[in-house]
Amino acid sequence: MTETAYAKINLALHVRKRREDGYHELETLFAFVDAGDVLTASSAAQDSVRVLGEFAGGLDNPFDNLVAKALGALPRADGLAITLEKNLPVAAGLGGGSADAGAVFRMVKQHHGLPGDWHDRAAALGADVPACVDSRSCIGRGTGTELEPIDDSLEGTPVLLVNPRVPLSTGPVFAHWDGTDRGALPQGDAHTIALEGRNDLEIPAISLRPQIAGVLAALRGTSPVLARMSGSGATCFALFDSDTARDEAAVRIAAEHSGWWQMKGSLR
């Protein structure tokens, strides 16, 4: 069994308020890139996880990552031996661990079926995990776990992901948010929400990792349809009108910033 853990991006992310439970009330437009980590699994007597790939070193304990936790959350008659090819940077605003967990849920669904409370089990692993199970564009509310369908008007849009290779944990970024409610997501289709929305975590993230401002400037210099930071950063994305425009932007940014990580793809 092989499954792609599709990179998650937040085309818009509006932070509305701090909640009494310590989390934040969010409104976000999730989208997914047709590339990411790759999970390969086979039946086994017991569950196991092996991690390889460029960013394997970012997961110090493979049994403490979300792949292992997802396996533990889903009842099955037999085990799964999973190899995780870690192509997405860790702590990068791409929901990498959540995407990996979502891929495990899809594997188990295909071969064993999911329990009726799978959504609650996914949400217990992380706020992005429920959206990552289907890995299709949708609206997320609450902490991001309350999902609403959205149209597919952005499906197939060429996208370029760029990260300056600096990790950025979610907690400190939210801690630096100024607490100002700047309003709800715009009304309309996914295309309209993306263009008219915003990411309220960009400013606090840049205050912690100024390199993000350089990535955004580089992306915006390639004349994309939209360039914005994803999630709590530090990865930024740019949407383009064509594969050619995206590929030219990728070549230009690679030439000017050879140390940055990047990934090309299209929205699912």
Q: Which residues are catalytically annotated? A: 8, 128
Q: How far apart are the first and last CA of the chain?
A: 21
Q: What CA–CA distance (Å, rounded) separates 246 from 189?
A: 23
- Tell which residue, 231, 215, 224, has the closest CA to residue 92: 231
Two structure tokens written together for 191: 């295309």
Instruction: Look at residue 128 and give its three-state secondary structure.
Output: coil
Q: What angle do CA 52, 53, 54 make, to 5 degrees?
A: 135
Q: Residue 4: enclosing H or E segment and its boundaries?
A: strand 2-18
What's the distance, CA 69 to chain centroid?
18
